[in-house]
Structure 1
Amino acid sequence: MEKHILSHESFDALTATLDRLNLAWGEVFPFGPAVYDQPSVKALGTIVDVTDDEGNARRTVQSPYRFSKSKSGIDSSARTAKRGEHNVAALRDWLNMGEDEISALADSKALISD
């Protein structure tokens, strides 16, 4: 398969073949400023700026799930969580870990927080 893909003289030739074969394809962009200006990213509101505790804007990827009759995703007025802010609650509530287990993880530096 790789040889077939690399046998095309250009990216445009490859995409023309994929289109002719009626295969779904899409170009993958590295995350960063080039992605922010993509028409689909803008139209879908995929990137949202939220403010951290210091008042700085922080780019965040919006939830891909959208429902017509309920609010979903990240509101631009939301506060971003600090690294590790929810460690204890997640370990306790989702994994039923006890305080001793959680403390042992923190003491061993397995949990990172700001």
Structure 2
Amino acid sequence: MFGMVLATGIRILSRCNYTTNRYNLYIVAISLGVGMTPTLSHDFFSKLPAVLQPLLHSGIMLATLSAVVLNVFFNGYQHHADLVKESVSDKDLKVRTVRMWLLMRKLKKNEHGE
């Protein structure tokens, strides 16, 4: 089980672009370091409130939380709808929709032998 999680994590990290966005390397390095803290130093968070202890003793939780916060800090937050608006114009989207509809219609006719 641990091996599958590790292999999946390595595969995801290998897709990340480290050359054009240097902050991605910082995010990975800091998150891994923060995630290792409960394993390497058991008493590191002992002075913090008891309510937070279950969260702070989980390396996965700390690494995930730090990665999300650092990613928003370094790379910013852009809503997915904004990305779609920037990448595809309305005219292109309409053309793609009509082409897809025509293709599906053609495939449907071929299935029925018409």
TM-score where L is the length of structure 2: 0.23
Greater strand percent: which structure?
1
Structure with larger Rg: 2
Considering Cα pairs closer than 8 Å and 6+ residues apart, tell me whether 1 or 2 has the greater RCO. Answer: 2
TM-score where L is the length of structure 1: 0.23
Greater helix percent: which structure?
2
